[in-house]
Structure 1
Amino acid sequence: MKIICLESNPQIYSCRSYLVLGSWNRLEDINTLVDIGADGYIIKQISKTSTGVGKRPVEQVIITHGHFDHAGGLGQVKEAYKPMVYANARSEEADRIISDGEIIRMGDRDFEVIYSPGHSNDSICLYCPQDKVLFSGDTPLQIRTPGGSYSAGFVKSLEKIASRDIRVIYSGHDQPITENVGEMIRYTLVNVNKSKIVS
């Protein structure tokens, strides 16, 4: 699997987008874009990337949640590549709704969909057990102190994420996290459980 972090438009508030490819760009690998960003800024970068002969540069798009900074450029990406669009919430742009526990092929790997409400009601994470990689969108996984309130649904998803063997987190806005990942998530879970939990 190859993960390419695409640059977002520096002129506007936008997220990090990731292009997931197979290691050898085989025809059966599924070129996948995780999140779009607020506009079509990433299209020029994708056009300069080797994504395999005889296949579309982007065959599917997975939206981690529907906020504008993650999905605002979806129309432009759909026009450019005609991809299948997956999301956890119904919208005019989504071709298919995905839910907790589903397995989605991205590049040459299988990813588990983990529903993670908290930042938004339609948030998901994507976990690859083979490479121990998690795409987290804007799911808060680095909570350093107790306080505030969290939904029971978020706690449940955080427990599921903490039970996975994760070595790298690709988040919606920050640099990849590669050190002490499991410890960080477990510490976050402790702090959340010390906070107010609402149903």
Structure 2
Amino acid sequence: MAVHNLTSDAETFTCNAFLATGETPALVDAGAMAGIEERIADRVDELDRVVLTHQHGDHVEELDAVLDAFDPDLYAYAEHPRRTHSLDDGDTLAIGDEEFEAVYSPGHAADHLAFVGEATIYSGDVVVHNDEAFDYGSFGRTDMPGQSRERLIESIATILDRLPEDVEHMYPGHGDEFHGDVRDVIETALDRAERREPKYPE
């Protein structure tokens, strides 16, 4: 299974939109970069499903364009007019060639899910490898209405509890993907969040 970040060179603000090829071609988040459907078509002829970590604008702005172009199933936690499959904590689904468990992980977003497999995690925005705040082990912002640092901390701890020992590929909603000791990255993020380190300097 190959995973491609289709928005890695985007010039507009967007999340990472990951296309996993293989037995079940899937897009994890549609992003906010115009023309994403053309980049999908460059890699695959058919798209089986779109899987949403959450529905913030930078993750779903181009969702309709992808759904119109490929007519895939849409998997999401929260209601959406074009959702075909609802996801809840503990549900399983295929992304590419790997089976994943949905882990309900609010704090950054009330509808947030991370997807944990035997070797791979799609972590969305709840925990990321790096960003403008931290170089190794960061976490989603919680300073906006409806967000909660306390709930985010619980979510990161839950992900660690349910993370298999051999996970070595991390595909986050922002920043760079990571290959290696994913658990250490997430533990570092949890430690920073628990010490109430500010996401961004004042």
TM-score (norm 1): 0.80
Residue 103 of structure 2 contacts residue 114 of structure 2 at CA under 8 Å; is this kept in 1?
yes
Give the equivalent residue in structure 2 for 1:134. Answer: 121
- 2:20 is the counterpart of 1:31: no
Identity %: 28
Give the equivalent residue in structure 1 for 2:94. Answer: 105
Q: 1:53-92 residue pairs with structure 2 within 5 A?
A: 57-92=46-81
Residue 39 of structure 1 contacts residue 76 of structure 1 at CA under 8 Å; is this kept in 2?
no
Q: Compared with structure 1, are the counterparts of its residues 2 and 143 closer, same or farther at alpha carbon in structure 2 (3 Å cutoff)?
A: closer
Q: Secondary structure at the match of 1:121?
A: coil
Residue 4 of structure 2 contacts residue 20 of structure 2 at CA under 8 Å; is this kept in 1?
yes
Q: Secondary structure at the match of 1:19?
A: strand
Give the equivalent residue in structure 2 for 1:21. Answer: 21
**Bigger-Rg structure (1/2):** 1
Q: Compared with structure 1, are the counterparts of its residues 40 and 83 closer, same or farther at alpha carbon in structure 2 (3 Å cutoff)?
A: farther
Q: Compared with structure 1, are the counterparts of its residues 192 and 12 closer, same or farther at alpha carbon in structure 2 (3 Å cutoff)?
A: closer
Take 1:2 and 1:8, find their aligned partners in 2: how far apart are those partners?
15
Q: Secondary structure at the match of 2:69?
A: helix
- 2:150 is the counterpart of 1:151: yes
Q: Compared with structure 1, are the counterparts of its residues 143 and 16 closer, same or farther at alpha carbon in structure 2 (3 Å cutoff)?
A: closer
Q: Compared with structure 1, are the counterparts of its residues 31 and 150 closer, same or farther at alpha carbon in structure 2 (3 Å cutoff)?
A: same
Q: How far 1:143 sits from its partner (Å)?
A: 4.0
Q: How far 1:135 sits from its partner (Å)?
A: 0.7
Deviations 1:102-141 (A, max 9, x none): 1101122101111111111111111111xx2111111134
Take 1:93 and 1:8, find their aligned partners in 2: how far apart are those partners?
26
Take 2:9 and 2:60, find their aligned partners in 1: how far apart are those partners?
14
Residue 17 of structure 2 contacts residue 28 of structure 2 at CA under 8 Å; is this kept in 1?
yes
**5+ residue gaps, structure 2:** 129-136, 198-202
Residue 100 of structure 2 contacts residue 115 of structure 2 at CA under 8 Å; is this kept in 1?
yes
RMSD of aligned C-alpha atoms?
Answer: 2.3
Residue 155 of structure 1 contacts residue 189 of structure 1 at CA under 8 Å; is this kept in 2?
yes
Q: How far 1:179 sits from its partner (Å)?
A: 4.0
- 2:178 is the counterpart of 1:177: yes
Letter in 2 for 1:160: T
Residue 62 of structure 1 contacts residue 85 of structure 1 at CA under 8 Å; is this kept in 2?
yes
Q: Secondary structure at the match of 1:76?
A: helix
Residue 60 of structure 1 contacts residue 84 of structure 1 at CA under 8 Å; is this kept in 2?
yes
- 2:35 is the counterpart of 1:41: yes
Take 2:32 and 2:8, find their aligned partners in 1: how far apart are those partners?
8
Residue 30 of structure 2 contacts residue 36 of structure 2 at CA under 8 Å; is this kept in 1?
yes
